Structure 1
Amino acid sequence: MAQNSVEYFASMQTQTGWTTILESFARFVDPPEDARLLDVGTGPGALVKIFREQYKAEAYGVDADPLMMAHAFSTQNVGQAFVCGSVDHLPLKAEHFDVVTATNVLYLVDEALPALQELARILKPSGTLVMLNPSPKMSILAATALADERNLSGFARENFIHWGEMAEAKVRWSPEQIAELFQKAGLKLTETRERVGSGLALYARGIKGGEYNHVK
């Protein structure tokens, strides 16, 4: 079952167009060159490779699944960049990273606030947290409509509609809800941006201080 999970997420990052979304998200993150960056819930590690190769960041990835980390280590060719750890209990030093990213992770956890507090713990002062989650616009119906519009088929279609199913089953935070969560975690929401079709994904950036700007 665990190996099937690895194969599923590896296929998701390489066969569904998800790489395009990750590259869009990476442009939103836009880390400074040589920034020390951690991608939480990195899965097969595609985003770590993007940050290292395209942005020259000192990027690392963490995931709770040891088989996933073994797969990332063997396929991404980025050296000793991966470590096992749970999002709410990371085996990493406090105030160690300039940037922390989390794509499609926090909306899945049962209690988001402790996880956010843990991510804030490992950020340096004035560090940046950037996350991607389904927006309030995401649903099974919306995902199906976009899959039809883009002529998705097979695994790509199933995977995208499944994202809509998970969004309905879990949580779809608004910018206002994210701002409240960030404040409780000791962060300040500074920017959100809607992407993917009509805005089915919500990117959010938080730092310790700054002004908030929502872009549709």
Structure 2
Amino acid sequence: MRKMVGAEFNELVAFFDGMARTKWLGAIHDTLKEKTGSWQDQDVLDVGCGTGRLLLRGADEAASLTGLDLSTEMIKASQQNFFYHEYSQKSEFIVGDACQLPFSSQQFDLVVSTCVMFLLPVPQEGIREMLRVTKQGGAIAMLNPSVKMSQQEAFQYCKNHGITGFEQTTMLKWANVSTKRHRYDEEGLRLLLQQEGAQDVEHHSVLEGLAMITYAKKR
């Protein structure tokens, strides 16, 4: 599986920002924020931050917010969003590779990543890096498609819930990419995380089992 390059995503900023603002993905971001608890006084990193929409949910609480993305244009959009919302003083956005994070070990209290790990040629490398830069006793949280995810299942979900137009398009595109990359069952992802130094792994089903939020502590 070929390595991703940032240029692939530079022209998709508007699409991904729109996707992050859909009701279905917005609700998942809300749930992920809820499952990670308060970000009060925490240093938080989002790996594959896109346009920064997830980080904005905890911007009032966190001590610092850092976003990393492979795309220079996504980083520019994140910087603009945080400037607009007046959070520039506590945020930093960096172009970088999820498999080679340019941060010190044990630098962050919380590391999150949505719609990214499953895209990597070797997701375990990205997960290992997430845990490396997490402080001892800190936590990571991810969103990944489950083994149940497919275009057919995603289309049926949209049909059942009256999801149409751009909202439907984004979900079907995510489903299509997931079938070509990586999908997880709970036990397989739990074992992978434990092998890399995580504990207290919890899975939270979303989209009626088509995807899952995974939360784990660093040993």
TM-score by length of 2: 0.87
Aligned counterpart, 1:52: 59
Work out which of the residue numbers 92, 106, 116 in structure 2 matches 1:105: 116
Q: How does 1:1-216 map onto structure 2 within 5 Å?
A: 2-15=9-22, 17-53=24-60, 55-56=61-62, 58-77=64-83, 78-79=87-88, 80-196=91-207, 198-209=208-219
Q: Is the 8 A contact 2:44 2:62 kept in 1?
A: no
Percent pairwise identity: 25
Letter in 2 for 1:204: T
1:206 deviation in Å? 1.6
Matched residues in 1 for 2:77 and 2:132: separation? 27
- In the alignment, structure 2 segments of 5+ residues that lack a partner are 1-7
- In the alignment, structure 1 segments of 5+ residues that lack a partner are 210-216
Matched residues in 2 for 1:149 and 1:108: separation? 27
Matched residues in 2 for 1:27 and 1:15: separation? 18
Q: Is the 8 A contact 2:43 2:62 kept in 1?
A: no
Matched residues in 2 for 1:123 and 1:46: separation? 21
Matched residues in 2 for 1:89 and 1:52: separation? 25
1:16 deviation in Å? 5.3
Q: Is the 8 A contact 2:39 2:58 kept in 1?
A: no
Q: Is the 8 A contact 2:205 2:213 kept in 1?
A: yes
1:178 deviation in Å? 0.9
Q: Which moved more, 1:62-71 or 1:165-174?
A: 165-174
1:5 deviation in Å? 1.3
- Alignment CA distance shift 1:128-1:15 (3 Å): closer
1:61-111 CA distances to partner (integer Å, 9 max, x unpaired)? 111111110011012332143111110111111111011011111111001
Matched residues in 2 for 1:161 and 1:101: separation? 23
Q: Is the 8 A contact 1:138 1:200 kept in 2?
A: yes
Q: Is the 8 A contact 2:32 2:141 kept in 1?
A: no
1:24 deviation in Å? 1.5
Q: Is the 8 A contact 1:61 1:83 kept in 2?
A: yes
Matched residues in 1 for 2:203 and 2:188: separation? 12
Q: Which moved more, 1:137-146 or 1:102-111?
A: 137-146
TM-score by length of 1: 0.88
- Alignment CA distance shift 1:2-1:136 (3 Å): closer
Alignment RMSD? 1.7
- Alignment CA distance shift 1:204-1:15 (3 Å): closer
Q: Is the 8 A contact 2:46 2:55 kept in 1?
A: yes
Q: Which runs of 4+ in 1 moved over 4 A?
A: none
